Structure 1
Amino acid sequence: MEKDNYYDEYEIDLVEYLYLLYKNKFMIIGITLLFIFIAAFASFVIMEESYKSELTFIAPNFKLVNGENVNKDEYINFFQKNQLLEEISNSYYPDKDSNSFLTNKLKITTEDENRFIKLSYTENDPELAASILNDWFDKFSNEVYNYLETNNNNYLSSLENKKDNDYQQYINDLTKYNQFQAENNISLMKSRLSRKENRLVNLEENIIDLNNNLKNKNVELGIVKQQLKRTDKFLVREESISNESLNKLQSINPDHELINLLTTKNEFLNPQYNNLTSRENSINQQISVLKSDLENKRNEIENLRNQIISLEEKIINLEEQQEVLNNELKNSRNNYQTAVNQYENNNQSLAGKNYTIDIISQANINEIPVSPNKKLNIAIAAVLGLMLSVFLVFFKEFINNADLSKYE
């Protein structure tokens, strides 16, 4: 029974609420119409219409001549470069002191899955919006092209400078090498060294011969000395007195028999001894000559060996310097040739590069405004007016039925 009374009370209250709304229907309708009027007046009279122009293009990844890749994320921000903003502002908004508002009007939509980029620009004038967007894109394309060309030209300039530097280095190394060749004739030094080595060999052979000759002469001298020891220096020769001398003696001495027995002994130098002495002197003289010749040749050998060692060291040093200069010359020649090939290949590669940005759809004049959305504004105003009027009705009823005396 109590449950039935609860539902009856609830139904009575709901009816009262509906009746209360109905009783104040004119106020509700009035407030709602007022909101609708204000929204319509603001949308049609006060608020300016905005038009959006859209442009779509393909943003490829570009490759520079140095091999580096420039993707769309690197150059898409060129739209916000101060230089471009300044040019657009000076061309279309000369009265504006700042160009920061342009970035708020431009919207860039990119998709990571593909290379399509959509640009949209909002302006009160549809023709102006399309014109600004097309001009902005043209300036952007030129900026991207100039950026890529500047990088390529700078790289080519660096290659050209390297080529010129490598060529100058090659000329310097070639001059140093030719100057070294002119000042140091290694072939002539080697020929001189060969002659000295041959001379040294001949001298060493001569010394062997001289030593053999000296040994033979010493042996021969020993034999002569032994012969001299066994040979008398003087010989005695007995001779009878001559007839004339004998007659004189017989005239003096009457002993003729004794006188007849008289003989004379003559001592004279032994010819064999004299020959041996002469031979000894001759051998000694020959030995002295051989020793002198041997000493001279030994001194000459010593000088030749020192000269050969010095010349060999000089040749080795010069050959090392020549090898260093030759390697430097080869390296500088290879570096120069590499620089030439690199410059020519990159120059040819640059001629085949295409840095154009293709447009899918240009910015066209859109006569349909994107804002304000009049229907949506009016609908929102109607809902807000209705809600506010209902709230006011219930609030008014609450105030009328409330006992406010206790708050006094």
Structure 2
Amino acid sequence: MTAPARARTSDELIRAEQPVLAHNYHPLPVVVAHAEGAWVEDVEGRRYLDMLAGYSALNFGHRHPALIEAAHRQLDRLTLTSRAFHNDQLAGFAERLARLTGQDMVLPMNTGAEAVESGIKVARKWAYDVKGVPADRATIVVAADNFHGRTTTIVSFSTDETARSGFGPFTPGFRIVPYNDLAALEAAVDETTAAVLIEPVQGEAGVIVPDDGYLAGVRELTRRAGCLFVADEIQSGLGRTGRTLAVEHEDVVPDLVLLGKALGGGIVPVSAVVGRREVLGVLHPGEHGSTFGGNPLAAAVGTAVVELLETGEFQRRAAELGGVLREGLTDLVGRGVVGFRSRGLWAGVDVDPALGTGREISERLMREGVLAKDTHGSTIRLAPPLTITEAELRSALAVLAGALAV
């Protein structure tokens, strides 16, 4: 008999990736093999507390039992039909997601970037068909330091040169204004404006929380100007900030909301554009689509995600534990932390540059059994699963304090 192949070590697996994987990521040197709840385990059996949660894709933790059960149940029945046919899971998913978000219609897609691209197309179509903008003249106003994805259209309005440089020529039709600046936004909006597209909290930029009243101001400005308000809630939505959607902190209802990440429960890619009927209703057969968008497996998992959020439990947990997170980070200000921003169970932490870069701090945390990730300079992001316990969260904060004391 042939002896079973020896399992490769973390170092061997990392080296094996180098010649065969495009180098579009710079991951921490940990190779995850198993996970459950807020914990992951590498191939050697070392355990780590996950304080990143897949950039909010794992809001419900790794392998949440209700989501795994929904996936297993659907895997035994039907996984894909394409949208050439109907499937028995899609209607229920769309009904419940629309109700959860207070909207009328759903456009199902797969990835967050697809949701953003879809939102852009819908906004432009609405501008031509409903607002009466002359053909090919529609503009969309966006915020500096945004992160909406990395497709060629999306990087066309990015201000991050790492994401943008080398990928031109760029798609026209976008105007960039400072985030959290209503005066600049108003000056950029005119009769050609189809939409204002912003993140209610800028995640990649370091969890930048706008001033109170900013989101309500955007809503009022777009209403007066006769253009759409498109909120990218791909990271901020579905419980992360202590509400189902981050715009709910100001009782704002956008015309379109972009969802992704947590909508797939960390199991399958699921994204969606949800919005008003008179906006999403501009699409007609053949104008937009996706072979996998709205597939029955995705719809079954997405429905299970909505069911979890319908209870309000995860929104409450994010709000309550967000207080613990703020308290712990406040205690660290002046002790290695120069400042932080948080909303719900989500924080951007600015570390004293004298103590190391964000990457170096993340590596120290990893060596002590906590996984987090840097963003820019000496800033790290903390976004644990909403299933984390208070004791686990306090433990992670203690590890952070220790890493800053080195």
Scaled by the length of structure 2, the TM-score of the pair is 0.13
More strand by share: 2
Structure with more relative contact order (C-alpha pairs < 8 Å, separation 6 or more) = 1
Larger fraction in helix:
1
Indicate the structure (1 or 2) with the bigger Cα radius of gyration. 1
